[in-house]
Amino acid sequence: MRIPRSKKFLVLLAVLTVAGIAAAIAIPAVISRSVISDGTTLHYRFERTVAVDFDSGWHIHPGIVFVQVEEGSLQITQGNCTPKTVGPGETYIEVPYKPIRAVARGRAVWTTSLFINGPDALLIPAPSPCPAAATR
Locate the domains of the chain by residue range: 42-135
User: Looking at domain 42-135, what is its CATH homologous superfamily?
Assistant: Jelly Rolls (2.60.120.10)
* Whether the Cβ atoms of residue 57 and residue 124 lie closer than 8 Å to each other: no
How does pLDDT run across 62-89, given as a tens digit for each residue?
999 999 999 999 999 998 899 999 999 9
| Helix extents (H) in 1-136 | 2-26
CA-CA distances (angstroms) from residue 78 to 73, 82, 87, 92, 134?
Answer: 16, 8, 16, 11, 12
CA gap 65, 62 in Å, rounded: 9
**Cα distance between the two ends of the chain:** 81
pLDDT of residue 65: 97
pLDDT at 37 over 60: yes
